[in-house]
């Protein structure tokens, strides 16, 4: 289920649906209709994701029609680098290498990371930064002090059929998100805390293998 969580976090901003009348959305620099407050919230959020470090906590529910699975965790991300902690796993990525640490099983998997060909199923930074490669905006409405956006995949190759995002009107907070899979599975997310901050010490995105005891099994796939 952790993979499903990261899949959602990786997929967010994009091109408007063809014929919708919306201007093209581009990661980090979204072109919008003048006076479109809803689009401005999305634009502000994408811009901040591109220029700042994002720190947030999350909770999720996965419902496949037979059972529900819940989980929570925390994320710190900057650019292509991130740290995700939750459900017994810690995932570190410095933009070149990814370490997945399972402290309960005493295992670590090390993999190469290619920022030019990101894996949308395991990289939350990619989904939050490269929406234009993944989704199109199909609709948006005001919801109190936030805006709801309905997104659809730009490509039929994804397993996701639809996604929803709620963003605060100032573009500073991702409030909630939802995702529908083609197999009928539904995933909903809440973000109890979400903030932007200056870029942290980049060393926090790397993992020091030497800090582990000799009991750990280390699998290096680079």
Domain total of the chain: 1
Look up the domain containing 120 and give its range.
Answer: 2-220
Stretch 79-87: mean pLDDT: 83
Distance CA 83, CA 94 (A): 9
Per-residue pLDDT tens over the stretch 122-131:
444 455 555 6
The closest alpha carbon to 176, from 196, 134, 135, 147, belongs to 147
pTM of the predicted protein model: 0.72
Q: Do 191 and 176 contact (CB within 8 A), yes or no?
A: yes
Helix (H, G, I), strand (E, B) or coil at 38: helix
Cα→Cα distances 115→98, 103, 125, 126, 173, Å: 11, 27, 10, 9, 25
Q: Do 114 and 222 contact (CB within 8 A), yes or no?
A: no
Cα→Cα distances 178→148, 166, 201, Å: 11, 9, 32
Per-residue pLDDT tens over the stretch 159-214:
778 888 898 988 888 899 888 888 888 888 899 998 888 777 788 899 999 999 99
What CATH number corresponds to the domain at position 36?
2.50.20.10
Tokens of 171: 């573009």
């Amino acid at each position: 289920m952790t993979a499903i969580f990261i899949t959602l976090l990786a997929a967010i901003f994009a091109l408007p649906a063809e014929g919708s009348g919306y201007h093209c959305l581009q990661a980090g620099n979204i072109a919008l209709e003048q006076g479109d407050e809803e689009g401005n919230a999305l634009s502000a959020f994408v811009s901040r994701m591109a220029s700042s470090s994002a720190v947030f906590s999350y909770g999720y529910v996965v419902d496949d029609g037979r059972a529900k699975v819940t989980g929570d965790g925390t994320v710190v991300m900057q650019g292509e680098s991130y740290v995700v902690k939750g459900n017994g796993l810690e995932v570190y990525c410095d933009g070149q290498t990814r370490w997945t640490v399972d402290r309960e099983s005493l295992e670590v998997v090390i993999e190469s990371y290619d920022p030019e060909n990101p894996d949308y199923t395991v990289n939350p930074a990619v989904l939050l930064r490269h929406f234009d490669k993944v989704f199109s905006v199909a609709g948006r409405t005001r919801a109190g002090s936030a805006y709801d956006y309905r997104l659809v995949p730009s490509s039929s190759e994804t397993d996701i059929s639809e996604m929803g995002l709620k963003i605060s009107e100032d573009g500073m907070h991702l409030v909630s998100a939802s995702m529908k899979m083609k197999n009928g599975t539904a995933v909903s997310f809440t973000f109890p805390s979400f903030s932007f901050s200056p870029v942290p010490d980049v060393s926090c995105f790397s993992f020091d293998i030497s800090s582990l005891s000799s009991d750990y099994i280390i699998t290096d796939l680079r």
